Amino acid sequence: MPQQLPVIVIGAGPQGLAAAAHLLEHGIEPLVLERGSAAGAAVAEWGHVRLFSEWPELIDRAARRLLEATGWAAPGAGYPTGGEWVARYLAPLAEALGDRVRTGVTVTGISRAGRDKVVNAGRAAQPFEVRGVAADGTELRLLGRAVLDASGTWNHPNPAGASGLPALGEKQAAQAGLISYRIPPSVAQLAGKHVVVVGSGHSAAHAVIRLAGLVRRAPGTRVEWAIRGGAPSGLSSADDQLPARGALGGRAQEAVADGRVVQVTGFRTTEIRRTGGRLSLVGDDGRRLDDVDHVIALTGFRPDLSIVRELRTAIDPGLEAVAGLAGEIDPNVHSCGTVRATGALELAQPEPGFYLLGAKSYGRAPTFLALTGYEQVRSVVAELAGDHEAAARNELVLPESGVCSGAAEVGGASCCAPAQKQPIRLGVKPAPVEA
Ligand SMILES: Cc1cc2nc3c(=O)[nH]c(=O)nc-3n(C[C@H](O)[C@H](O)[C@H](O)COP(=O)(O)OP(=O)(O)OC[C@H]3O[C@@H](n4cnc5c(N)ncnc54)[C@H](O)[C@@H]3O)c2cc1C
C-alpha cells in the first residue's frame, strides 16, 4: 500500500475532524471530504438545539491540542447549542486543518482500486478508491491508504410508519410539507394548530417540551405525543450520568401530567390520510388521530450503507451498526445501554484499513455520544499508525445512556442499573431547554 497516499475521512462532523487531528499527530496526512458547504454541516442543521453534554465532553483531545497551538481557547463549562458547537469548535478546527478538509464533495461509493467486492487476489495491497461528486457536478476519483467513514446518520431519518417503512400516504404528506423529521427551530408557526409528535426518544421529548411551552402561550394549540410502545419512563432516568439528558424526559412527562400534551401510547402508525389540508394518522389497531395540521416524526436515524456496498463489511443485520459493537448497544437488550468504550478491535471490518466511525458506527442505535466517538477515533488511528498497544488501551469510561425505550417496548426486563465500571461524572446541572 503506497504510504504517501492520504487516509480519506468521509464527513467533517465532530468525529471526522477529530480523526483528522489524530492522524496529523501520528504524521499521517488526512483528506476529509464533506458534502456540506462547511464543516459541521449536519450539526449546523440542528444548530438551534441545546446539547445535553457540556463543553468538556464535546472536545476531542487531539483536536484541542491542534487548536490550542493556533491560540484558540477552549470554551469553559456550559451546554452549547449545536450552532455554538460549530462556531466555537468545529469551524476553527476545520480552519486549523486547512485544505485537508474539502467541502462540497459528496462521497457516492468506496471500493478497492481495480478490485470489485468479489476479487481476493492482491486485494489488501490495493489502495482504496473513493468516488465523489463535487458541488458543480464534477465526478471525482480519489485514492487513499485507508478510509474512515464518519458520515453520520443525520441525512436519513426514520419514517413515522411503525414498521420502519413509510406509512401509507406518508411520503405524499411529507412532500406537501405536512410532516417534518427534525426538531423545529421555531414552533411559533404551529400556534393554534393540532400537532402530533411521533417517537419516544430524547429528540421527541425535546419537541414535546417546546410545544408544551407553545400551548401555554397559545392555548388553542393541541399537542398529541404518539408512542409506539409504552410511556418512555426511561427518558428521565435518575441514573443517567448526563443530568441534562435525564431531565428532558422528566420535563416532557410533566407536560403530559399537567394536560398540555396528550400522550397516546401503543400507537403504531400504519397510514397517514390526507383530507383537505389536514391529516389522519391511523394505527394498526384501528385507532385514529384526526384533524391533524402537522406531524413531527422524530423516530431516530439510520445509516446510508449504499456507499460501502462495494466493500466487505460486517454490519449487524438488525441495528445496521458495526457488527463488533452491536451486542453492546442493542436497545433490545441494553435498555439503558451501559455503553463501554469501543475501539479498533470492535470496529474492525473484513476490509483491512476501512472503518465506520462516529454516529454511523452505531447504525440505528440511539445511544451514541461524542465522547464514545472520540475514543473510537483515538484507538482506530493508533491502529492505523501501527501503535497496537495504544489502540488496545481503553482511555475512557463512558456514562450510562439512560435510553430505556427499546426494552420497555418489547416487554424486556430493564437493565437501568448503575454502570459496572466507575463512570466519569459528566456535568452536574441540567441544561436549559427553551420551551
Ligand atoms: C439533536 C442532537 C443532539 C445531540 N446531542 C448530543 C449531546 O448533547 N452530547 C453528545 O455527546 N452527543 C449528542 N448527539 C449525538 C452526536 O454526538 C452527534 O450526532 C454528532 O454530530 C455525531 O457526529 P458524527 O461526526 O459522527 O456525525 P455528523 O455530525 O452527522 O457528521 C457527519 C458529516 O458527514 C457529512 N456527510 C454525510 N454524508 C456524506 C457523504 N456521502 N459524503 C461526504 N460527507 C457526508 C455530513 O454532512 C456531516 O457533516 C446529538 C445528536 C443530535 C442529532
Residue 379 Cα to ligand 1 midpoint, Å, equals 19
Phi (first) and psi of residue 106, to 5 degrees? -95, 120
308 located within any domain: yes
- Strand (E) or helix (H) holding 171: helix 170-175
174 located within any domain: yes
Is the Cβ–Cβ distance between 392 and 219 less than 8 Å?
no
Residue 289 Cα to ligand 1 midpoint, Å, equals 33
Residue 215 Cα to ligand 1 midpoint, Å, equals 31
Ligand 1 atom having least distance to the Cα of 41: 49
How big is the chain by its Cα radius of gyration, in Å? Answer: 22
Q: In what order do the strands lie in the sheet with 354-356?
A: 101-103, 30-34, 7-10, 146-149, 354-356
Measuring from each residue's beta carbon to the nearest atom of ligand 1, which residues come in under 6 Å? 10-16, 33-36, 41-43, 46, 49, 51-53, 106-107, 150-152, 154-155, 203, 307, 358-359, 368-370, 373
Phi (first) and psi of residue 269, to 5 degrees? -65, 125
Quick check: helix, strand or coil at residue 382?
A: helix
* Structural domains in the chain (count): 2
Ligand 1 atom having least distance to the Cα of 57: 11
Q: What does the block give as the cell for 48?
A: 438551534
Query: Which of 297, 317, 337 marks a domain boundary?
Result: 297
Residue 170 burial (CB count, 10 A): 23
Residue nearest to atom 13 of ligand 1 (CA): 369
Residue 369 Cα to ligand 1 midpoint, Å, equals 10
Question: What was the pLDDT predicted at 249?
Answer: 81
223 located within any domain: yes
Ligand 1 atom having least distance to the Cα of 373: 26
Question: What was the pLDDT predicted at 340?
Answer: 73
Residue nearest to atom 35 of ligand 1 (CA): 11
Is the domain of 137 the same as that of 219?
Answer: no
Is the domain of 270 the same as that of 391?
Answer: no
How many residues does this entry show for the chain?
A: 435
> C-alpha 42: how far from its chain's center?
10
Residue 304 burial (CB count, 10 A): 16
Per DSSP bridges, beta strands 30-34 and 105-112 are unpaired
Ligand 1 atom having least distance to the Cα of 245: 8
Triad 209, 214, 215: Cα angle to 5°: 95
Provide the domain limits for residue 36: 7-155+301-414
Residue 41 Cα to ligand 1 midpoint, Å, equals 9
Mutational test site, ligand 1, from 35, 48, 240, max ligand atoms within 8 Å of CB: 35
Measured CA to CA, the distance from residue 169 to residue 171 in angstroms comes to 6
Q: Could you tell me which of 349, 303, 305 has the C-alpha nearest to residue 324?
A: 349
Question: What was the pLDDT predicted at 297?
Answer: 98
Is the domain of 31 the same as that of 93?
Answer: yes
Is the domain of 191 the same as that of 146?
Answer: no
Query: Which of 297, 324, 340 marks a domain boundary?
Result: 297
HSE-CB of 100 using CA atoms within 13 angstroms:
23
Is the domain of 79 the same as that of 196?
Answer: no
Is the domain of 293 the same as that of 311?
Answer: no
Residue 257 Cα to ligand 1 midpoint, Å, equals 33
Residue 368 Cα to ligand 1 midpoint, Å, equals 10
233 located within any domain: yes
Query: Which of 238, 271, 297 marks a domain boundary?
Result: 297
241 located within any domain: yes
Measured CA to CA, the distance from residue 370 to residue 222 in angstroms comes to 35
Is the domain of 319 the same as that of 265?
Answer: no
Question: pTM here?
Answer: 0.90
Measured CA to CA, the distance from residue 47 to residue 86 in angstroms comes to 8
CATH of the domain at 394: 3.50.50.60
Question: What was the pLDDT predicted at 110?
Answer: 98
Is the domain of 270 the same as that of 315?
Answer: no
Burial status of residue 5 (CB atoms within 10 A of its CB: 0-12, 13-18, 19 or more): middle
Residue 13 Cα to ligand 1 midpoint, Å, equals 6
Q: Could you tell me which of 324, 416, 330 has the C-alpha nearest to residue 366?
A: 330
425 located within any domain: no
Bridge-partner residues for 168, per DSSP?
Answer: 271
Is the domain of 196 the same as that of 258?
Answer: yes
18 located within any domain: yes
Ligand 1 atom having least distance to the Cα of 11: 34
Measured CA to CA, the distance from residue 13 to residue 356 in angstroms comes to 13
Is the domain of 137 the same as that of 17?
Answer: yes
Residue 182 Cα to ligand 1 midpoint, Å, equals 14
Is the domain of 55 the same as that of 125?
Answer: yes
Mean pLDDT of successive 10-residue stretches along the chain, which has 435 residues: 89 98 98 98 96 95 98 95 98 98 98 97 96 97 98 98 98 97 95 97 94 95 95 61 72 94 98 94 98 98 98 98 92 67 93 97 94 96 97 76 38 36 32 44
Quick check: helix, strand or coil at residue 218?
A: coil
Is the domain of 20 the same as that of 103?
Answer: yes
26 located within any domain: yes
Residue nearest to atom 38 of ligand 1 (CA): 151
Question: What was the pLDDT predicted at 233?
Answer: 58
Mutational test site, ligand 1, from 9, 154, 362, max ligand atoms within 8 Å of CB: 154
